[in-house]
Amino acid sequence: MRRYLPFLIIAAIFALAVGAGLVLFYYRAQSPPKAAVYGRPGAEPAHVRGNLQAPVQLEEFGDFECLPCSETWPVLEKLEHDYGNRLVVLFRQHPLKKHRYALDAARAAEAAGLQGKFWEMHDTLYHNRETWVPADYIRPYLNGYATELGLDVDRFKADMDGEEVTKRITADQDRGESLSIDRTPVIYINGELIASTARDEKSLRAVIDKALGSRRP
């Protein structure tokens, strides 16, 4: 018996190591993705739509005046609907200087966010893009959207030009710059940069399904 004791000890240690490895693998597989660790932090808390415990995290850097962003918007909405609790979407402000109203629109969304209506303003801006982009002056349209959403309009007007809104947009832009983002939309899925040629619904589904480890939602 003593002759076999060292072998038994080695076998027991090996079994414990394998068991510990399997447990660790299981918990890692069950855990939601951690907060993004690539690039600088961005505004906190981030604007999130969906299940915070979702296994797939989609982060978009967007500009409300950007035409490709407005075309991507309904695609992301459909993915949110179809994947349900398995997908969480984050939006980061990245208004481009070449767009005359992009910063005003970003400010409007952030000001609405301070009253708990970021996503409602986000959707309204994209839905009405063809109306406010060619306008001579955007503020009346933004004030009108705030009224439609039931916001305190006086507060909304003050917040649009306020320090908190400026800080949030600046933080998101800083995050974008740390990732060398110079256009919109830019999408990351679980930290993986998605090519600009792969933002269609079919391509995004393929990346999400791969992350989920299944073929279809």
Name the residue ranges covered by the structural domains of the chain. Answer: 1-31, 47-212
Residues of the chain with pLDDT under 70: 1-37, 214-217
For 53, how many CA atoms within 13 A lie in the half-sphere containing its CB? 4
Q: Distance between CA 11 and CA 13 in Å, rounded? A: 6
Residue 76, pLDDT score = 97
DSSP state of 182: -
Q: Residue 190 is encoded by which pair of tokens?
A: 């679980």
Residue 32, pLDDT score = 37
pTM > 0.95: yes or no: no
Q: Tens digits of per-residue pLDDT, 169-203?
A: 999 999 999 999 999 999 999 999 999 999 999 99
Give yes or no for a contact between 47 and 120, defined as CB atoms under 8 angstroms apart. Answer: no
Q: State the CATH class of domain 47-212.
A: alpha beta
Give yes or no for a contact between 154 and 86, defined as CB atoms under 8 angstroms apart. Answer: no
